[in-house]
Structure 1
Amino acid sequence: MKSIRIYSLFLFAYLWVFSCKEAASSDNESLLALLPLLGASANANLCPKSSTLPSDIFLANTVESASANISGFSDSKKAVNGVCGSGELAGSLDVYALDITGAGASLVLSWGGRTVKNVSDSIDFIVYDNSFRISGETNTYAMDPSVIQVSLDGTKYCGFNPSYTAGNINLLTSWQKFGGLRPVYYNMTTNPLSNEDLFSDAGGGFLLGGGDGFDLDDLDPNDQNGISCDATAVSDIQTNGFKFIKITSASAVRNYADGTNKFPWPPGSYNGSDIDGVVARELQ
């Protein structure tokens, strides 16, 4: 997790409490103990405050597969309990952390049997992680790049053929068609937004609620990381939508574009991608 790196004393202190707390202590009790040190931004992460999710926000609500076990961030329900972003300069703590490699590097979510529609000329879903800006330059972030794939039947997974340009690993423009790149401004407790707001263009490749948007029309049958994907499977998803989304830490995925074994990952990271939630534009 980028949160463990030196970029954020805020998150480091929180994880320190996790490593020292007794098993009987709750996550929120540990966080509350840190509030005097961490300030108001920590309080924003006591989210969600209600178990009832907004009915107009089409959140993925079912964990189909999850096997990571990162200390302090191993509750997979955090990936479906609502989006709790902390803005441009801080990462959310309400996340489920993936492993860097192996089976635990992937997470599969669904909408409980419902189908995400392909809306014409539009972003169809948004993936929320906990990226945050780490310097004065607006395109330099502590990121958790993730490879995104979708499936209608739970067997044939198709992706977007992501690409990485070698260079500054924290440069936003080095990563194309990945999740886990942009900060999350939407917080269902402190910054509630409508579904329409979440999909509103804020300019510069950013959405009003943050996160990384994907358009099903951009699915690529040439993405070699797809499982049983071909042009027919892509056409089927683009026509009928999808039911399942697989999110995988980029560090566990083959980078076919330049022949390397895996996409790069920031050195010293404690774990892989940190998943805060996925929102669909329309369901059927």
Structure 2
Amino acid sequence: MQKRFQTKTLCLLVLMLFVSFSFCKKSASGSGEENLAALLPLLNAASNASVCPKSSLPTDIYLATTVVSASSNISGFSDPKKAVNGICGAGEMAGSLDVYALDITGAGATIVLSWGGKTVKNVSDLDFVVYDNSFRISDDSNTYAMDPSVVQVSIDGTNYCGFNPSYSGGNVNLLDSWTRFGGLRPVYYNMTTKPFSNEDLFINTGGSFLLGGGDGFDLDQIDPADPNDIGCDTTLAGNIKTNGFKYLKIRSASDVNNPNTGIKFPWPPGSYNGSDIDGVVAREIQ
């Protein structure tokens, strides 16, 4: 089963308008009951979206609050404010609809966020969490509909350092195939229906899964040897590790060259868009 977030979303809207269910794209082997069951998590996600985000953001959650640049134009998901208006996760089995969708390639495949001039500090263990809208698509706990994204950080908004992400070449839907990417794990945190404290969001529940979900990053793991970080070197990486960063770049993995193959990282065939950004939370800011 491959992730087609936009296709499934269109199906949900059609279903709500009582248009023929046959419009929705079905798998070759799926029965009508199976396809209906596949839509139920989206109904749940739509329900969550109706109560999230809150009209005012919680002051004790250190959300990235500023969109520095964003230029994708995915129908229905082109509002970049969705990337800074709070986290609206829908749990293990559904993806939030309160997201900003990136393009698969090109300028629109990237978004840059900041904390309004504040600095994200390097503290013990994980320093920030990236929230997308991955969800489990199999009884196998390792199989998810994912939106892998390459994450980089910067002090000046010009020179970026990243985490040297790696893809094993396995199934694109297997969590274990991807290392040091965003957009892999589901989001349990919902600022309205399932609130947590900022510190709660960094509690590891096992296997790199966090209490609030999402994908955590540790600045101490920045790798200046990442071939995609042209402006990064040992000095800049050390500066970020010591002093923190102000800007965060998220880029659909489908727009980034895999250094092991010389071609772009793989993306589920037929997907309409790239990564879906729900938000980013820092552990400490100053």
- In structure 2, C-alpha distance between the alignment counterparts of 1:233 and 1:211, rounded to whole Å: 27
State the Cα distance separating 1:43 from its structure 2 match. 1.2
Segments of structure 1 that go 5 or more residues without pairing to the other structure are 20-35
Is 1:262 paired with 2:264?
yes
Amino acid at match of 1:104: G
The aligned residue for residue 106 of structure 2 is 102
The aligned residue for residue 85 of structure 1 is 89
State the Cα distance separating 1:233 from its structure 2 match. 0.6
- CA displacement, residues 235-275 of structure 1 (integer Å, 9 cap, x when unaligned): 0100000000000000000110x223110000000000000
The aligned residue for residue 227 of structure 2 is 224
Q: For residues 38 and 279 of structure 1, do their structure 2 counterparts lie closer, same or farther at Cα, with a shift above 3 Å needed?
A: closer
Q: For residues 215 and 72 of structure 1, do their structure 2 counterparts lie closer, same or farther at Cα, with a shift above 3 Å needed?
A: same
Q: Describe the SS at the equivalent of 2:216.
A: strand
Is contact 2:257-2:263 (8 Å) kept? Answer: yes
Is 1:55 paired with 2:59?
yes
The aligned residue for residue 23 of structure 1 is none
CA RMSD of aligned residues (A): 2.2
- In structure 2, C-alpha distance between the alignment counterparts of 1:46 and 1:92, rounded to whole Å: 11
Matches within 5 A, 1:185-200: 185-200=188-203
Aligned match for 2:155, one of 144, 147, 152: 152
The aligned residue for residue 174 of structure 2 is 171
Q: Describe the SS at the equivalent of 2:280.
A: strand
The aligned residue for residue 71 of structure 1 is 75
- In structure 2, C-alpha distance between the alignment counterparts of 1:37 and 1:83, rounded to whole Å: 18
The aligned residue for residue 279 of structure 2 is 277
Q: Describe the SS at the equivalent of 2:81.
A: helix
Q: Describe the SS at the equivalent of 1:81.
A: coil
TM-score, reference length from structure 2:
0.88
Is contact 1:146-1:247 (8 Å) kept? Answer: yes
Is contact 2:54-2:191 (8 Å) kept? Answer: no
The aligned residue for residue 33 of structure 1 is none
Amino acid at match of 1:277: G
> Runs (4+) of structure 1 moved beyond 3 Å?
14-19, 36-41
- CA displacement, residues 127-177 of structure 1 (integer Å, 9 cap, x when unaligned): 000000000000100000000000011111000000001121100000000
State the Cα distance separating 1:13 from its structure 2 match. 2.8
The aligned residue for residue 24 of structure 1 is none
- In structure 2, C-alpha distance between the alignment counterparts of 1:235 and 1:169, rounded to whole Å: 33
Is contact 2:53-2:88 (8 Å) kept? Answer: no
TM-score, reference length from structure 1:
0.88
- In structure 1, C-alpha distance between the alignment counterparts of 2:217 and 2:45, rounded to whole Å: 29
- CA displacement, residues 91-145 of structure 1 (integer Å, 9 cap, x when unaligned): 000000000000000000000000000003x100000000000000001000000
Is contact 1:48-1:81 (8 Å) kept? Answer: no
Q: For residues 139 and 40 of structure 1, do their structure 2 counterparts lie closer, same or farther at Cα, with a shift above 3 Å needed?
A: closer
- In structure 2, C-alpha distance between the alignment counterparts of 1:70 and 1:115, rounded to whole Å: 30
The aligned residue for residue 3 of structure 1 is 5
Q: For residues 39 and 246 of structure 1, do their structure 2 counterparts lie closer, same or farther at Cα, with a shift above 3 Å needed?
A: closer
